[in-house]
Amino acid sequence: MAEACSRLEARLGHTWRRRELLTQALTHRSFGAHNNERLEFLGDGVLNCVIGLMLYQRFPDQPEGRLSRLRANLVNQDSLHEIALELELGRHLRLGEGELKSGGAQRPSILADALESLLGAAILDAGFDVASGIVEHLFGAKVDAINPTQQGKDAKTRLQEWLQPRRMGLPDYALTQTLGQAHAQVFHVECRIPARNLKTSGHGPNRKAAEQMAAEAALIELEKI
């Protein structure tokens, strides 16, 4: 367990001095009374504050309403779930027996809440600057990839608009795998663009979210060419 937590800390860029805070952040309410719900509350505030500051600094010409929409697109369950999967956070969670058997370690809401709890634990362990650094590390690439003029259009729409003027046809989305229990499934989708011999993948709590992730990945690859 200690070795696994050390790998998680390395991915987050912070080693906890108060190990009990890290343990609490990884403890779901199904495991016991001393769980991560209060830390989640604190972490949610940290996340919204730091993402707001990142957007404010990166887009000095954008009005308040646009900044709020940009933040909402970043700070949501799908986005947090995606990052939690990249961190393999599910393997570190302490869950009650029933929650463990029912696939709670892969449930989007539980993973998203645990990620926020880690931010709450970080600010208590080392202060705002450290917690802010974790947010910037986890979300920096997402913020850098934002094009404010494209906000309001989802990735599938933007991909179609990129392909059509170049006469490359429409992308094809194929469901490749479905994992987990019926109430906590993770869908894996592949986006295929035959004209460029390109395949990208995405995953999410539903097929729509997985397709959006795959489309975003395709856009990134196409813009490299």
Give dist(CA 144, CA 147) in Å, integer.
8
Confidence of residue 225 (pLDDT cuts 50, 70, 90): low
86-96 pLDDT per residue, tens: 898 999 999 99
pLDDT tens digits for range 158-209: 899 889 889 898 999 999 999 877 666 789 999 999 999 999 999 888 888 8
Q: What is the pLDDT of residue 161?
A: 87
HEC readout, the chain: CHHHHHHHHHHHCCCCCCHHHHHHHCECCCCCCCCCHHHHHHHHHHHHHHHHHHHHHHCCCCCHHHHHHHHHHHCCHHHHHHHHHHCCHHHHCECCHHHHHCCHHHCHHHHHHHHHHHHHHHHHHHCHHHHHHHHHHHHHHHHHCCCHHHCCCCHHHHHHHHHHHHCCCCCEEEEEEEECCCCCCEEEEEEEEHHHCEEEEEEECCHHHHHHHHHHHHHHHHHHC
Q: Which residues belong to the active site? A: 44, 116
Q: What's the rounded mean pLDDT across residues 15-21?
A: 95
Domain boundaries, the chain: 2-146, 155-224
Question: For residues 199 and 172, is the Cβ–Cβ distance under 8 A?
Answer: no
- Amino acid 18 reads R
- Residue-wise pLDDT for 123-164, tens only, equals 999 999 999 999 999 999 888 878 776 665 788 888 998 898
CATH number assigned to the domain covering 2-146? 1.10.1520.10
Mean pLDDT of 42-51: 97
Per-residue burial over 184-215, b if 16 or more Cβ lie within 10 Å, else e, is bbbbbbbbebeeeebbbbbbbbebebbbbbbb
Tens of pLDDT, residue by residue over 48-87, are 999 999 999 999 998 998 898 889 888 988 889 889 988 9
CA–CA distance, 136 with 131 (Å, rounded to integer): 9
* Domain 155-224, architecture per CATH: 2-Layer Sandwich (3.30)
pLDDT above 80 for 2: no
